[in-house]
Structure 1
Amino acid sequence: MRHMADDSYEVMSAGMSPETVDERVYTVLTKYDVNSDNLQSISVEALHDQHFDVVITLCDKASNECGLFPESDALIHWDFKDPKPLEGDQGFVDTYEGLKARIALFLMLNGEDQSDAVGPVELFKIMGDPLRLRILMLIEDEFALSVGDLTKALSVSQPKVSRHLALLRDAGILKDQREGLWVFYRLPENLPVWIHHILTTVRNGNPGLINNEKLKLSQIKDRKKPGFSKKK
């Protein structure tokens, strides 16, 4: 939650019977570039006198014993099997992926408006156009692309690419950023987490949709790349 929501939420974590953090947790978090500094397991007893807007439990036992937080505004139960008894890392990977999906949905339904981006229905309508879908997948994969790059990669006319980029920009899904004589299109910094999650899932699950386009991008000679970083 802390990794996906940034500063939108103050997040605390505790267990009913805390134990030493399993080394496989660090392995999986490192794999997904999630900061694990100062990670520790603490007891819910240490937090019993605090008020929480939302309490999320991850097992039936915790759900049954969450009378410790009677003043919380909302109690949500997500039932996950304990991956510790399983061999290897896969159980922890599955748990991470499951939590990531649940958290993305939670942020979509409960988060404040983070931009002027469209809602779910409008987003899927926009992504229903094959050309716009490939534009979004390429930009999500490459971070930022110019109109010229997209024109060459997609093998379509510049006016057509520009029209679709303008629609995506007006919908709040893309932003343009000028660098000298070049204009690059990228995802906005304040794009809602749930939209990021959908775009990443679509790209990772369907890499073949843009394989040819990525090959064409790699073959562009003297290709101009943005000098600004992802964090700007």
Structure 2
Amino acid sequence: MAEGFLRHLAGDRFDVASAGTDPVGLNPGAVEAMKEVGVDIARQESKKVDRFLGQRFDYVITVCDRAKEACPTFPWAQSLLHWSFDDPAAAEGRAEERRAVFRRVRDEIAQRIRRFMARERKANKDPAQ
């Protein structure tokens, strides 16, 4: 969801990639939650983080505590950020309760990305944004 929001909100300002420590494909709950707010992530790929080892990044952002612990180090990244979100795929309960967790986490991610982008614009003094 974070990749989808950053692509949607930032356009081409960032070259966005996402990966997991144990990717298992897109979760239909995430696809549905994002579609509700007009962001189509259905074509995103689930990639293993090892695919990006050795590449340089301005930011590497982990979005769940399990990923932070299992993620390899990225010494070639300028900034390592950790944003702790619940894993909505681990939600339990009835279908509507699980959907509510996806929606809550989706909204938390969107808010965090908007704050990140605002700080980034301010730091780079980007008057066009």
Same fold (TM over 0.5): yes
| 1:50 is aligned to 2:55 | yes
Distance 1:78 1:50 in 2: 21
Distance 2:41 2:120 in 1: 25
Q: Where does residue 181 of structure 1 map in the other structure? A: none
Distance 1:20 1:64 in 2: 21
CA deviations over 1:25-68 (Å, ceiling 9, x no partner)? 11111111002242121110111121111000012232234443
Give, as a single letter, the amino acid of the residue that structure 2 aligns with 1:94.
Answer: R
Q: Where does residue 3 of structure 2 map in the other structure? A: none
Q: Where does residue 72 of structure 1 map in the other structure? A: 77
Q: Where does residue 103 of structure 2 map in the other structure? A: 93
Distance 2:55 2:38 in 1: 30
Q: Larger relative CO (CA 8 A, sep 6+): 1 or 2?
A: 2
| 1:18 is aligned to 2:23 | yes
Report how many aligned residue pairs link the two structures.
Answer: 116
CA deviations over 1:3-31 (Å, ceiling 9, x no partner)? 11111000000001111211111111111
* Pairing partner for 2:34 from 26, 29, 33: 29
Q: Structure 1: which 5+ runs fail to align? A: 116-191, 193-232
Q: Where does residue 216 of structure 1 map in the other structure? A: none
Shift of 1:114: 4.0
| 1:107 is aligned to 2:112 | no
Q: TM-score, with normalisation over the residues of structure 2?
A: 0.82
CA RMSD of aligned residues (A): 1.5
Q: Where does residue 12 of structure 2 map in the other structure? A: 7
> Percent identity among equivalent residues?
30
Distance 1:70 1:36 in 2: 29
Q: Where does residue 154 of structure 1 map in the other structure? A: none
SS at the partner of 1:73?
Answer: strand
